[in-house]
Amino acid sequence: MIRIEPAELVDLNICCQMVLAYTTDYVWQMQATENERGVEVRFDVVRLPRTMRVEYPRHPDELIDHWHSEGCFLVARTPEDELVGFIDAVPYPAQSMLWIHNLGVLPAHRRCGIGLKLVRAAAQWAADHQLQRLMMEMQTKNYPAVSFAQKQGFRYCGYNEQYYQNGDIALFFSRPV
Which tens digits make up the pLDDT trace of 34-55? 999 999 999 999 999 999 999 8
Q: Helix or strand or coil: residue 94?
A: helix
Domain count, the chain: 1
* Non-local CB neighbours of 37 within 8 Å, separated by 6+ positions: none
Phi-psi region of 66 (alpha: psi -120 to 50; beta: other; left: phi over 0): alpha
Q: What is the pLDDT of residue 158?
A: 97
Q: Between 150 and 13, where is the model more confident?
A: 150
List, for residues 54-84, the tens digit of each pLDDT value.
Answer: 988 887 788 888 888 889 999 999 999 999 9
List, for residues 86-95, the tens digit of each pLDDT value.
Answer: 999 999 999 9
Structural domain of 133? 3-176
What does pTM read for this prediction? 0.92
Question: How large is the average pLDDT for residues 157-164?
Answer: 94
% of the chain with per-residue pLDDT over 70: 100
CATH number, domain with residue 56? 3.40.630.30
Confidence bin at 176 (pLDDT 50/70/90): very high
In the chain, what is the straight-line distance between the N-terminal and C-terminal CA atoms, in Å? 24
H or E, element range at 62? helix 61-68
Q: What's the rounded Cα separation, in Å, for the pair 59 and 132?
A: 28
- Which residues does residue 29 pair with via DSSP β-bridges, in sequence order? 44
H or E, element range at 63? helix 61-68
CA nearest 149: which of 95, 103, 107, 96?
Answer: 103
